[in-house]
Structure 1
Amino acid sequence: MTFKDFDFKEKLQKSIEDAGFKEPSPIQVDAIPVILSGKDMVGQAHTGTGKTAAFGLPLINMMKGNNGVEAVVIVPTRELAMQVSDELFRFGKSLSINTATVYGGQSYSRQLKHISTAGIIVATPGRFLDLLRDHKIDINPSFVVLDEADEMLDMGFLDDIKEIFTFMPSNRQTLLFSATMPNAIKSLAKSILVEPEFITITQSEITNSRITQTYYVVDDYERDDALIRLYDFKNPEKSIIFCRTKKEVDRLSTFLVSQGFSAKGLHGDMEQKQREEAINSFKKGKLEVLIATDVAARGLDVNDVSHVFNYHLPFDSESYVHRIGRTGRAGKDGTAISIVTPHEFKMLQKIQKDTGGKLEAKVIPNIESVKEKKTDSLKNKIRDQKVYDSGVSLVESLKEEYDLSTIAHKLASVLTNDTYIKGNNYIGKSKLDIERLLKRSSEDNRRNRNPRRRDGRRGNNSFNNNRKRRDSKRGSRNTSRS
């Protein structure tokens, strides 16, 4: 199936092609026809599955384009608001449909000015509700979208969402997207949607099949060395490194800059201007590495991210899916790399089980392997290099002092300076080490599921038996005292 099968307006189809979109993702295949039919819809899908285009394309196709604000999209964070707004603007500009981004921290007057010429508002709940309560805006949208509803629930926005809908017209089409469906979200869906159609992306479709997922096992003190070695070997064009904490983001970004990388951090404690600067620099290719926390990178949409690195594994499978969904977008291949310690094997196995994905164990390359790869790359570059007059002139001038063999050796030595590799020759666990650790982890899991009693039999009464033994010992101690 292709996007042409949806029979979108000609100008919209052209925007889709210009964006490099080819085949629709599973959520797009299922959701777009439902939305075009005018029905309310609940879509259960994770970040990175193409939700923005799934609701954005059909809505833009149905909009008149000259009727004020026709659509409202409510999202949990300002970063996601900016990303969704950018994507919708990219699709809608050929149809003269503008977007206005509404979130806290910016002046009301500036946002109201943008709203006055917009067909779509993308907003965070708090600021949007302020505008509605204070009657600063008077809108009558035909379409309302709640994106990442479970995230908004976790952030405490549920009451705000309910109040927002008291300002929305009753004859609207409402769409709700959520990665999970807790009872509070189900209840919300019942109250704001009318006979919705439910669409769920199955577990096998949660992780993008275009993303190669690997992990490397190290001791905790080796994480930095492992990261640098992997960058030397993989040579990613544009990458994101995910950390668990803001402190780790700051430390790692400083470290990478000291190692010669063009890198910046992204987390919630940064001022909004700094965050926007980092995201824009990354999108425009001025940064090769972005180091981010999960919350800060929520909704980050950059189509040419070649690699995602998990400096630490996240605490839950949903965050893992969100993280690796930053690569392998718009029909491109991607690579997700996790640096783990033996203590993280339990989380690793949970992620594999929850996502249905295959994470392959790999060994961190030694210095010789990296040098060999860099040298092969250099040979190919030399082979493909065109000969320019400036190069000929340089060699001719050098021939006055050296013979051609010496010139070649000197120039090659200049080029091979880049093949110098820092660090220990061997980093992390060997293949045999990893196999042993995996075997031990599997045995531990089996023992935990079916504990052995001291009498040699397996059973679930170990707690009661241990308690009886403790009571017996306590009784004997009391007897001896008396």
Structure 2
Amino acid sequence: RDEQLEAELFGEDNHVHTGINFDKYDSIKVSVKGKDIKPISMFDEANLHPAMKENVRLARYKVPTPVQKHSIPIITDGNDLMACAQTGSGKTAAFLIPILSNLFGKAKKLAAPRPPPGTRRYKAEPLVLILAPTRELATQIFDECRRFTYRSMMRPCVVYGGADVIPQKNELAKGCDVLTATPDILDDGTRQTLMFSATFPKSIRNLARDFLANNYIFLTVGRVGGTTSDITQKIMYVENHKKRDQLVALLLKQPPSRTLVFVETKRGADSLDDFLYSQNFPTTSIHGDRTQQEREDALLSFKNGRCPILIATSVAARGLDIKNVMHVINYDLCEDIDEYVHRIGRTARVGNQGLATTFYNDNNSGIARDLVKILIEFKQGVPDFLQE
């Protein structure tokens, strides 16, 4: 047992407290299409490897969320799975726990041999490949892999573009059993394929079938593409030339808290960052043209509270799970309702409550109908300008 590493992996900085609405998760409708597999109600029912049981305990996971209750036995049974569940509902743990638990105790037999000390060239042969759309999400999943492989023989690694290749190669050369990566061309092998997202547009579901077994299971928790009632959604009519003034007014009005501001373009992120900084707001920004080090520094400043206002483009912030984001502001409203769901889902994680404020004007009329549907479904107020 490594007490220092244990504190690093499972300490308070890496723990997200469940919110007051966590118990409401069990009231969410769940649909399972395909093989009928009994869900678990507690982690003790999942037949987890003893080391995984201990890691789940160290992570302070008390009760599985709905997506975990269904996904863990489905994956343990060896099925392909497409799972759609709302943001902040525990999807990462839903696939990591059963995958890794199944391999604990088998790693010595299945894993590639570790290279002798001092060996420079050695081929990594991972047993598990996890693909994520962004570098930040890949790193976030890798951190979870480190937690759940604690005190096991399995070694996780992460690779992505935009960073120095040599250190990544050196890490792979030490051996890799669980590889988290951004996409590239892959060789097929004997595999179990699992897909998890908060949204699955029909076009993506159709495409995904090319990569899943014919008898794959489709799991939905809530409505496909739905959000969560833990988020209070407010839509404000704001003309483009008044957005900056309205944003400043919002930031001055709210108590100090982590706030994520979404803009449409990289140039817009830089420009708004400069403007807010000139107004003495502690801001930082993140987008695809930043170097990996700049992106990591910006996220660290946001997480540790040095810069509690983060300006981001949609792609850069996709899937990020950051503690205590209390307010999401759609400064530039996106054109796609699924993107809207992903954006506002950065707040109100794991049963906590959050606020999402959206600036809307006539340029956003293309998303109005879908926006009204989301607001009505989750019992949010629909302003008159949208009803018209």
TM superposition score normalised by structure 1: 0.61
- Give the superposed CA RMSD: 2.8
Out of 260, 265, 269, the residue aligned to residue 240 of structure 1 is 260
Q: Which residue of structure 1 aligns with residue 195 of structure 2?
A: 176
Residues 226-262 of structure 1 deviation map (CA, whole Å, 9 limit, x = unaligned):
2222222222421211111112111111111122222
Task: State the secondary structure of the residue aligned to 1:42.
Answer: strand
Relative contact order (C-alpha < 8 Å, sep 6+): which is higher? 2
Larger Rg: 1
**Is the CA contact (8 Å cut-off) linking 2:86 and 2:225 kept in structure 1?**
no
Q: Which residue of structure 1 aligns with residue 130 of structure 2?
A: 73
Out of 324, 330, 347, the residue aligned to residue 350 of structure 2 is 330
**Is the CA contact (8 Å cut-off) linking 2:225 and 2:341 kept in structure 1?**
no
Residues 5-55 of structure 1 deviation map (CA, whole Å, 9 limit, x = unaligned):
545445544544554545544322321221122222122346544321221
Out of 146, 159, 165, the residue aligned to residue 102 of structure 1 is 159
Residue 173 to residue 261, structure 1, CA distance change in 2 (3 Å): same
Q: Distance in 1 between matches of 2:63 and 2:246?
A: 36
Structure 1 residues without counterparts, runs of 5 or longer: 127-159, 362-433, 442-482
Q: Distance in 2 between matches of 1:15 and 1:220?
A: 49
Q: Which one-letter code corresponds to 1:207 in the other structure?
A: T
Percent identical residues? 34
Q: Which residue of structure 2 aligns with residue 27 of structure 1?
A: 67
Q: Which residue of structure 2 aligns with residue 44 of structure 1?
A: 84
Q: Which one-letter code corresponds to 1:102 in the other structure?
A: V
Q: Which residue of structure 2 aligns with residue 308 of structure 1?
A: 328
Out of 275, 282, 291, the residue aligned to residue 271 of structure 1 is 291
Q: Which residue of structure 2 aligns with residue 114 of structure 1?
A: 171
Q: Which residue of structure 1 aligns with residue 319 of structure 2?
A: 299
Q: Distance in 2 between matches of 1:42 and 1:174?
A: 8
Task: State the secondary structure of the residue aligned to 2:179.
Answer: strand
Q: Which residue of structure 1 aligns with residue 146 of structure 2?
A: 89
Q: Distance in 1 between matches of 2:267 and 2:299?
A: 19
Residues 160-188 of structure 1 deviation map (CA, whole Å, 9 limit, x = unaligned):
3xxx142x2x2x32213353254575355
Q: Which residue of structure 2 aligns with residue 198 of structure 1?
A: 218
Task: State the secondary structure of the residue aligned to 2:316.
Answer: coil
Residue 95 to residue 337, structure 1, CA distance change in 2 (3 Å): farther
Q: Distance in 2 between matches of 1:285 and 1:118?
A: 34
The Cα of 1:123 is off from its aligned counterpart by 1.1
- What are the within-5 Å matches in structure 2 for residues 83-232 of structure 1? 83-95=140-152, 97-115=154-172, 116-126=174-184, 160=185, 164-166=186-188, 168=189, 170=190, 172-177=191-196, 179-182=199-202, 185-186=205-206, 188-193=208-213, 195-203=215-223, 206-232=226-252
Residue 182 to residue 286, structure 1, CA distance change in 2 (3 Å): same
Task: State the secondary structure of the residue aligned to 2:319.
Answer: coil
Q: Which residue of structure 1 aligns with residue 101 of structure 2?
A: 61
More deviation in 332-341 or 88-97? 88-97
**Is the CA contact (8 Å cut-off) linking 2:258 and 2:326 kept in structure 1?**
yes
**Is the CA contact (8 Å cut-off) linking 1:20 and 1:330 kept in structure 2?**
no
**Is the CA contact (8 Å cut-off) linking 1:236 and 1:307 kept in structure 2?**
no
Q: Distance in 2 between matches of 1:49 and 1:301?
A: 11
Out of 344, 359, 378, the residue aligned to residue 357 of structure 1 is 378
Higher helix fraction (1 or 2): 1
TM superposition score normalised by structure 2: 0.75
**Is the CA contact (8 Å cut-off) linking 1:213 and 1:358 kept in structure 2?**
no
Q: Distance in 1 between matches of 2:60 and 2:361?
A: 38
Q: Distance in 2 between matches of 1:294 and 1:183?
A: 20
Residue 349 to residue 48, structure 1, CA distance change in 2 (3 Å): farther
Q: Distance in 1 between matches of 2:164 and 2:291?
A: 15
